Structure formats: structure tokens, C-alpha cells
Structure 1
């Protein structure tokens, strides 16, 4: 596995990380044994940067990882998150007492005495981000976390926070069909020495090897009511992706490997964290590290999937609460 630096002063980790949200059943029924087998495949592939959150299955994802760590004791860099308070209605809390209590609970579930990286999952808009940075700085000083990060924020928020306590990573959605971070955030991260961690780089399964079938989504599936996966948007999106799928097949690439290679090429400070709950899907990604696009490949991908091709917003109004919009 190729290595990339997790921020200016962070550790080196595999260029591809692992998002563990699926372990909690967000995209279909989860099975802990299947999730554990997926972690085996990650270790085998050299994927040593794992990402989870306190709210993924209300601790279920962290518990699965904690069980694996206790049994297998792999050498991995762990990231978790705090700040979302599930509803209804959903709210956000970046107060120090809340952050500390949730960190303590996460560490217990993970069987760890500290986290290498701890994100503010969503910013509490009413609370100055400088205050939050000071809280995270104290956690670093106390040895409870090694570094901190932000998720779904604007470049202006990153700059304000970084000026108080250096930020190690920013995690925002970024893929061939979600391109907003190109409008300032990727550049700000590069300028400040902050890792940019794209989540959903495979477009919530849209860039999987097999076509997505919304009619099979469980009622609990996050995509069930997502604008890009409902008609007529889904049909239009699938037409684009089907052409990309054909192009990848002609080149001998898996669809997920090609989509991930496109993300990896956008900068050495990008460390994407595709998510899955199965070892088979994880293995489909690994060819990304062997793909070297030609100028002709890039031009053809841009033709098939031009910036802004996606029909529908990446979140519905009921899902976007707490996400900072800056363009």
C-alpha cells in the first residue's frame, strides 16, 4: 500500500483508508461477522486508516472495531467523530462537556486510551469555532487525542480553527459526482498542510462494480429518500455512470478502482475513505493504486462525467442540516 501523510505533522497512513459507516447498516442490513471479515481484508491490503463515529449505529460501528482490535491487535490509525445529537429533531453540540463525555464513551467502545484523530462531525453554528479549537487543543495536551479535524465545513471555518489549534484533517464528501471541495477547500487544505479526507468517494455505491438498484433499498437505507437516488434524477445519473462503467470495462479497470484513482490524483494530501461492509467490495478498490490515467483518459472521463453532471442535490433538505455551504 502506498503511503500518504496525515497532515503536516501526522503519521503516514495508507493512501486509501476505510470508512466504517456501513458496519452500522446505513446502506443495507449489516452483519458484524461480515464487517469483521471486511476488517481482515483491510489489514491484508495495508489499509491502516479507519474512520468511524459515535453515531454510526449509536456506537455499533465503534463496538465492531473495538472487538476486532481486541482480538487481532492490528497497527492502525483510528479516527472517530463527535458533535451530532440524533433526533428527532437532529441537533449539534460542540460544548466541551459533551465532547469529553462522548470521547470517553467512544474510547470505551473501541478499547483504546486515546484516538489518533478526532473530528467535529458537524459544527454547531452558534458556537465560535475558535472555542471548539481550544477544547480540542486541551484534549491533545491531555493525551486523549493526537490530533483533531473538522467535517463538512467551509474553507473560512478551517482557516479560523487552524489559526487557534492546527487542524490535521478535514473530511468532506468528494467524488466524481460531488465536486464542491474543488471550489476552495482542497486548495485551503494544501496551503495549510491539512489532509483532505474525501468521504463517499464512490458516490454511496454509485461507482460500484454492479449497478445500484434503488428498488431494493431497505426503508432504513440512507439513499431511499436521497435526491440523487430517486426518480427522475436516478435514471439520468445512471445513464452517465453506465457509460463510465463501459469505459472502465474497455480499459480493464473496475469501476470503483477508476473512480478512486480519479480522487487520488487530485493531490498528495488527499486520503479517501471509501466505505463498505464486505471484503469483496473492498478488494475491488485496490486496483486504484495501479491506474495511471493518460491525458486521453482524463479527457474521456471529463466528457462522460463532466463537473456538475449529477442530477439532484447530494442531500435532501432533511439530510443537509449542519453542512456548511460556501458557494
Structure 2
């Protein structure tokens, strides 16, 4: 697979990583054995960067990873996160004590003594990022984490953070229907030697070969609360999505492959982070790392899905509380 640096001076990893949120039912029921098979096949196909969080399934994603890491730890660049509490009255906690407790719990759940890349999952607005960086640097000095990552932050936050210590990666949602990183985060990452890890590059499944049907979203499916899937916006979005899917089909490719290829073509410091529990979906995602889109194809994609084409914001009110707004 195409390889890219995970931050300036960081390890080389596959240009497509594997997210684990889907393994614990975020988009519907998940099967443990199927998820483990997906991990194994992804690893054999060159995916060596696995991403999780302590809040995915309230720790269940990390527990699932533990059984896989027992025999494959030396081949995997492992990432996890902290900073979200799931307490509606105090949803984000970046205090040193909370982060310490979260890190120790993650290490225990995954059965490891070291996490290669450890993210602040959400920045607590009231706490200076400089203080949070000092906590993360202590973890690094202790050998419990290898590198520091930040998630859903503004470019200004990254600039303040790197004044304290190096940041290897920034996670932001980035795809053909969520392009905000182009307004600053992408450039700030490049200027400061950080990888941009683009999560949901297949647009919460909208660029899959079989598009989701919001009417069939089950209990616990995160997308049910996202405005782009509601009864007003989805029919409008579907029109352009079908045109894009037809374009991919005309080129004998899946829309997911084209969507991943588009993300990777935006800059060489971008790593795509799709999540799927099904290997057939991941094969299409990984195909995107093999494609080199022509300028004519890029122009055609831009004509079908220009910046800002999607109807509705990407998050509803509750989920909008954490990501930093900068434009």
C-alpha cells in the first residue's frame, strides 16, 4: 500500500488506516468475529495504523482490540484518545487527573504498556491547550505514549500546542461532503509537521457502493441525529450522491474508492481513516490508495460535488459542542 509519514519524523504507515468505532455498533449491530476477521485481513493488505478511543462503545472497542494485539502488536501503530467523559453535564475533561485515569484504563483494556499515538479527543474550551500539552508530554516522558495527537481543533489551537511540544497528527472529519479542514487545518498541519488524519472519508457511508437509507437507521446509529440525513436534507443530498456514484461506476470503480482517492490526492500529509467492520467495504476503501485520479476526473468530481454542496450541517446541536469552530 501507499505509505505516508505519521507526522514529521514519525513512522511510515499505510495511507489508509482502520478506525474501530464501527466495531462496537456506532452505525448498527456489529459482530465480534467479523470485526476480528476485518482487522486481520486489513493488516495483511498493508493497513498497519489502527485507531480507537476509550469512549467507543464505552471501552469495548479497546477491549476488542486487546485480543488482536496479543499476537500482532509489533506490526501495528496503535492510536487511542481521551478527553470525552460521556457526562452530559461535563462532557469534556482535559484535567491531568482525568487524562491520567483514562490513559491507564486504556492501557489495561488493550493489554499494552505503550500507545504509539495518543490524542486529545476534544479540547475542553475553558482549559488552556498549553496545560493539556504539558500533561501529554509527561505521558510521553514516562514512555506510556509515543506521540501526541489532537482532534477536531482549530488551526490557532495547533499553533499554540506546537509552541509547547511536537504534535504528530490532527484528526478532523474530511471528505467530499465535509471540507472545512481546507479553511485552515490542512495548511496548519503541513506548516507544523503534523499529519492530517481524515476521519469519515467515506462520508458516514454515503460514498459506499450501497448508500445508507436513513429510514432504516437502527437504535444507537449516530447518523440518526445528523441533520444531513433528516427528511428534508437527505433527498436533496441523494441527488448529487447518485450522480457521483454513477461517475465512479462509469470508470469501473466504487464511489468509496474514488472518495478515498480524492482525499489522498489533496495533500501528501493526509492519511485517510475510514471505519468498517466488513472486509468487503475495506477492500474498496483500500483500492482508493491505489488510484491516481486524473485532472479531468478531479474536475468532474468538483463539478458534481463542489465545496459546500451538502444540505445541512454535519452535526446536530449536541455533537457540535466539542469540535472547535474557526470559520
Shift of 1:28: 0.3
Contact 2:2 2:290 in 1 (8 A): no
Is the aligned partner of 1:160 residue 2:160? yes
Contact 1:152 1:323 in 2 (8 A): yes
Shift of 1:89: 3.7
State the Cα deviation string for residues 222-245 of structure 1 (Å, max 9, x = none).
011210111110111111010000
Shift of 1:289: 2.1
Is the aligned partner of 1:226 residue 2:226? yes
Contact 1:41 1:283 in 2 (8 A): no
State the Cα deviation string for residues 126-173 of structure 1 (Å, max 9, x = none).
111000011111111110001111000000000000110111100010
Taking the aligned partners of 2:286 and 2:138, their CA distance within structure 1 comes to: 38
State the Cα deviation string for residues 68-100 of structure 1 (Å, max 9, x = none).
111455510010000001033451111111111
Shift of 1:281: 0.9
Taking the aligned partners of 2:87 and 2:281, their CA distance within structure 1 comes to: 32
Shift of 1:258: 0.3
Give the corresponding residue for 2:190.
190
Secondary structure (helix, strand or coil) at the match of 2:78 reads strand
Is the aligned partner of 1:10 residue 2:10? yes
Taking the aligned partners of 1:131 and 1:286, their CA distance within structure 2 comes to: 38
Task: Report runs of 4+ in structure 1 exceeding 6 Å deviation.
Answer: none
State the Cα deviation string for residues 13-53 of structure 1 (Å, max 9, x = none).
11110111111110001111111011012112110001100
Give the corresponding residue for 1:133.
133
State the Cα deviation string for residues 272-326 of structure 1 (Å, max 9, x = none).
1101111111111122122221221111100100100000000000211111000
Contact 1:175 1:198 in 2 (8 A): yes
Structure 1, 289-298 or 205-214: larger mean CA deviation = 289-298
Q: How many residue pairs were aligned?
A: 327
Contact 1:178 1:314 in 2 (8 A): yes
Secondary structure (helix, strand or coil) at the match of 1:119 reads strand
Give the corresponding residue for 1:315.
315
Taking the aligned partners of 1:267 and 1:111, their CA distance within structure 2 comes to: 35
Secondary structure (helix, strand or coil) at the match of 1:196 reads strand
Alignment of 1:202-221 (within 5 A): 202-221=202-221
Give the corresponding residue for 1:92.
92
Taking the aligned partners of 2:172 and 2:295, their CA distance within structure 1 comes to: 27
Taking the aligned partners of 2:42 and 2:56, their CA distance within structure 1 comes to: 19
Give the corresponding residue for 2:46.
46
Shift of 1:203: 0.4
> Structure 1: which 5+ runs fail to align?
none
Give the corresponding residue for 1:271.
271
Give the corresponding residue for 2:248.
248
Taking the aligned partners of 2:209 and 2:15, their CA distance within structure 1 comes to: 21
Alignment of 1:140-159 (within 5 A): 140-159=140-159
TM-score normalized with structure 2 length: 0.98
Q: CA RMSD in A?
A: 1.0
Taking the aligned partners of 2:212 and 2:91, their CA distance within structure 1 comes to: 31
Taking the aligned partners of 1:175 and 1:90, their CA distance within structure 2 comes to: 30
Taking the aligned partners of 2:146 and 2:225, their CA distance within structure 1 comes to: 37
Contact 1:202 1:260 in 2 (8 A): yes
Taking the aligned partners of 2:229 and 2:73, their CA distance within structure 1 comes to: 38
Taking the aligned partners of 2:166 and 2:30, their CA distance within structure 1 comes to: 36
Structure 1, 183-192 or 65-74: larger mean CA deviation = 65-74
